Amino acid sequence: MLKSKVSKIWIPAFLLAVVIVGCADPDKNAGSGAGSPLTPPTVISVTPPDGSAGSCPNALVTATFSKAMNPSTINTSTFTLTGPGTTSVSGQATYVASTNIATFTPSSSLALNTTYTATITTGVADTFGNTLAAPFVWSFKTATAPCQTPGSIALGAACSFGILAGSTVTNVAGTATHISGDVGVWPGTAITGFGPPAVVTGTLHPGDSIAMTAQGDLTTAYNAAAGAAGGAVLPADIGGLTLPPGVYKTTSAQPSLGITGNLTLDGKGDPNAVFIFQIVSTLKTAATNSQVILIGGAQSRNVFWQVGSSATLGTSTLFTGTIMAQASITLTTNATINGRALARTAAVTLDTNNVVVPPCP
């Protein structure tokens, strides 16, 4: 009888303990990390950099947040641009959820030799309703003279190559990689994995004089792209943006570049419009979720990616332009390039890829 009574007491006590634990404060359990419901958002980087001078009139005005934001709170009332002085700049404010980046796009080019001030107000909120603790403000000054429209980059003997490496070219054996151009390596000599079902419509150049000449011309083209004047500073990830022709760059403060989602390059009706991207360190696209799209007459032969380190195209990426990397280039499974993968000193690695070589610029 006593044992039965004890059991009856313990069962309700146990259920009460479960209820108490389940009703604990969810915010306390959520922690206080950057993505926590309790943590207010912050601005972790901006372009143009605060206090910078010499920005092109088509400068990208962006702010990267520390966590996912509520897109409905980001508009021209909460993301403003003024200059000179307190004069409001008309434009459009947008937000890309995949990168946590807000962009203010002026309705027309900014004035030369003018200081502008960008402000993110406390009206912006994250997806939990937390707002900025205080307004975030930064300033930059535009260049004193118009930024030059970039000319195309001459590739010389490297133009016929879909793939060119410094050490090795390796395709995963047994995969259906298709290259519509030459494949070469120099000073290395190894080109492997291009037996059936892989197809190369051009010629293999394993360490021969043609590959050597192409590497020399690649060095010239790489340096020309790196030295192109001007350059609008890019945020860490440019997925979701639409860019006009011009020179774009990363900086030592934010050296690498990512593409998550769609990057659109708008030729503005000019089939000769040129896009040059100067990347201090690495270039990486997100797997299964990255495309470089051309509109407004833009052509793949006029898009150049100068990469200071290595480039990696994520699975199923649809990429456009000629990659000129100082070190290596990796094309993961099913990545496609309408352009070229040209590596100066290290390897190019492929796996079931399609490389479509455009006409020479």
Tens of pLDDT along 253-266?
999 999 999 999 99
Compute how many other C-beta atoms are within 10 angstroms of the C-beta atom of residue 178: 16
Query: Could you state, in order of their start, the residue ranges of all structural domains in the chain?
Result: 43-142, 156-356
The predicted structure's pLDDT at residue 59: 87
The predicted structure's pLDDT at residue 2: 42
Which residue ranges in the chain fall short of pLDDT 50? 1-30
The predicted structure's pLDDT at residue 3: 44
Tens of pLDDT along 132-158?
999 999 999 999 988 888 899 999 999
> In this structure, what token pair is assigned to residue 163?
């793939």
Tens of pLDDT along 63-113?
999 999 999 999 999 999 999 999 999 999 999 999 999 999 999 999 999
The predicted structure's pLDDT at residue 34: 63
Helix residue ranges, H only, the chain = 2-22, 26-30, 209-226
| Yes or no: domain 43-142 corresponds to CATH 3.40.50.11540 | no
The predicted structure's pLDDT at residue 32: 54
The predicted structure's pLDDT at residue 149: 82
Radius of gyration of the chain (CA): 26
Instruction: Could you list the beta-strand ranges (E) of 222-317.
Output: 232-233, 242-243, 246-249, 257-266, 275-279, 283-295, 303-307, 311-313
The predicted structure's pLDDT at residue 111: 96
